Amino acid sequence: SLAAILEEKGDELIGKRILMFSYGSGMASSMFIIRVASPIGKLSGSLRIRERLDARRIVDPEHFTEVLERKEKKYCAFGVEPAQELAELWSETTCLERIDDIGRRFYTST
């Protein structure tokens, strides 16, 4: 990912180009180049990719399937509050709080 490259290489990327590819929504994709023109040390240091990967929680397949089934039942539904444990989310995570009766989505942060 771009974030992993930025974190690993940091300011070594100044003056270099990074080829990016986006799949789009299935019908359209695009390829473009990012040219790193200025120091990115501050940005790359704040990403903490390795720390975030190491902090992932391992769950058994049954629990994972239950979570997906709960989400599937409420997909495209109105007037719902998703059942999720906010304590399970990383701090500073933005997540769906509720969807009202006319489909407006409301978010909260942990």
Interatomic CA distance for residues 99 and 95, integer angstroms: 12
Tell me the pTM: 0.47
Give yes or no for a contact between 34 and 20, defined as CB atoms under 8 angstroms apart: yes
pLDDT given at position 19: 93
Q: Residue 17 pLDDT more than 90?
A: yes
Question: How many CA atoms lie less than 13 Å away from 79 in the CB half-sphere?
Answer: 1
Q: Residue 33 pLDDT more than 90?
A: yes
Interatomic CA distance for residues 86 and 66, integer angstroms: 17
Domain residue extents for the chain:
1-56, 58-110
